[in-house]
Structure 1
Amino acid sequence: MLYLVEHFYSIQGEGRYVGTPSLFFRFGGCNMTCKGFGCTEQLEDGSEITGCDTIYAVDKEHFLKNWIPINRVEDLLNVLDIYDLPNAVDVVLTGGEPLIYANDEIFIEFLKALQKKSHRITFETNGSLGVDFEKHPVYKECIFALSVKLSNSEESYRKRVRPDIINSISLNSKDSFFKFSIDAESINAALDEEIEDISSHAPNIGVYCMPVASDKKELEQNSMELIEYCKDRGYNFSDRLHMRIWDKEKGV
């Protein structure tokens, strides 16, 4: 079953296309939990769960009741009619991990319809799930923001770093770039080795470094040292513009 968590029209807050007006589709489910990021979400009973900053789109056990089951491609395409959108506005598919649906028939049909309407499609993916570019050539016209997880996610290396998949996406997609989430405590020699190791599997694409944050305060705490790191290493600093503007508010 394909699940949509939320949709919203905003500006892209991260990566190469920051500031670009974009229609976001956030899909439910992920193959990772990334508890190392330490972001928390409070449940109805007052308890908290820990994971990434979009844990409400990851944790199926606790949040499934808020996810929207998608049974027809029209359920997704009709979203475009809700908003007053510019022609061929950018569409960003995020999660969770949207590529858990990479072979879903409705999902593929949705991509083809977007492509036919000339929308630029960007996937925000952890880069650990493969795409069949030959079977589904629509993916060749998509952009991939490869948010490959570092050790600070507390996911195992074998699970989070898939050289064959990273290389395949970089070679077959219309465009791709790395987007790493980094906290101040992780900025050390080991971080250099991690980024160099991962980026070696797609050496010709850009590297963006983004502060780990669950709110504006944490964003500011992790930004300055990371900016200096990017200046020293020649990487691109990626702000989280949406969080800087709207803080913890969702769906904006």
Structure 2
Amino acid sequence: MLYLVEHFYSIQGEGRYLGTPSLFFRFGGCNMKCEGFGCREIAEDGAEVLGCDTVYAVNKEHFSHAWIEIDSAQQLLNIFDLYDLPTGVDVVLTGGEPLIYANDEIFVEFLEKMVANNHRITFETNGTIAVDFEKYPVYKKCVFALSVKLENSAEPLSKRVRGGVINSIATNAKDAFFKFSIDEDSINMALDDEIEQITEHAPQTDVYCMPLGGNKADVEKNTLALIEYCKNKGYNFSDRLHIRIWDENKGV
């Protein structure tokens, strides 16, 4: 079953297309928990859930009220009519982890119809789920933001880094770039080695580094040290513009 958690029209807050007006589709479900990020969300049942800043799109047990079952591609395409959008507006597919639905027939049909309507599609993915580019060539027309998780996610290395998947996506996609979430405390020699071990699977792929944080205060706390790190390493600094502007508010 395909689940959509939310949709909203805003600006892209991260990565290569920062500031670009984009229609976001946030899908439910993920193959990771990333509890090391330390973001806490209070569910309607009062439970405090730990994970990433979109834990409500990861944890169905406590946030099922927000998960909408999708039974047709048209159900998703109808969402375009809810907004006053420019022609060919950018579309961002995020989560959770949207590629858990990579082989879903409804999902693939949705992609094909968006590409036919000249939308640029960007996947925000952790880069661990293989995409069958030959069976589903529509993926070759998409952009992939490879948000490969670092040690600060508290996920094991064997789970969060899959070199073959990273290489396949970077090689076959229309475009791809790395996007890492980094906190001030993680900036050390070990971080250098960790990023280099990941990027060696796609050495020609640009690197963007973002300050870790699920709220404005945490993002600002981690920003200055990260800017200096990017200057020293030659990486691109990416703000998290949506958090800096709207803080913890969702769907904006």
Alignment TM-score, normalising by the size of structure 2: 0.99
Q: Does 1:226 align with 2:233?
A: no
Mapped to 1, the partners of 2:82 and 2:207 lie a distance apart of 35
Mapped to 2, the partners of 1:203 and 1:64 lie a distance apart of 39
Partner of 2:105: 105
Q: Does 1:115 align with 2:115?
A: yes
Displacement after TM superposition at 1:49 (Å): 1.1
1:14-42 Cα deviation digits (max 9, x unpaired): 00000000000000000000000000001
SS of 1:127's partner is coil
Partner of 1:248: 248
Partner of 2:164: 164
Mapped to 1, the partners of 2:131 and 2:53 lie a distance apart of 25
Which amino acid counterpart does residue 249 of structure 2 have in structure 1? E
Partner of 1:191: 191
Which amino acid counterpart does residue 144 of structure 2 have in structure 1? F
Displacement after TM superposition at 1:66 (Å): 1.5
Which amino acid counterpart does residue 235 of structure 2 have in structure 1? Y
1:91-116 Cα deviation digits (max 9, x unpaired): 00000000000000000000000000
**Any conservation in 1 of the 2:44–2:63 contact (CA below 8 Å)?**
no
Displacement after TM superposition at 1:44 (Å): 2.6
Aligned-residue identity in percent? 69
SS of 2:30's partner is coil
Q: Does 1:71 align with 2:71?
A: yes
Partner of 1:21: 21
**Any conservation in 1 of the 2:3–2:28 contact (CA below 8 Å)?**
yes
Partner of 1:144: 144
Displacement after TM superposition at 1:47 (Å): 3.2
1:139-160 Cα deviation digits (max 9, x unpaired): 0000000000000000010100
Displacement after TM superposition at 1:174 (Å): 0.3
Gaps of 5+ in 1: none
CA RMSD, Structure 1 to Structure 2 (Å): 0.6
Gaps of 5+ in 2: none
The count of residues paired between Structure 1 and Structure 2 equals 252
Mapped to 2, the partners of 1:250 and 1:45 lie a distance apart of 19
| Stretches (4+) displaced over 4 A | none
Partner of 2:86: 86
Partner of 2:38: 38
Mapped to 1, the partners of 2:224 and 2:177 lie a distance apart of 22
Partner of 1:48: 48
Mapped to 2, the partners of 1:144 and 1:222 lie a distance apart of 25
Query: Residues 123 and 40 of structure 1: is their aligned pair in 2 closer, same or farther, counting only changes over 3 Å?
Result: same
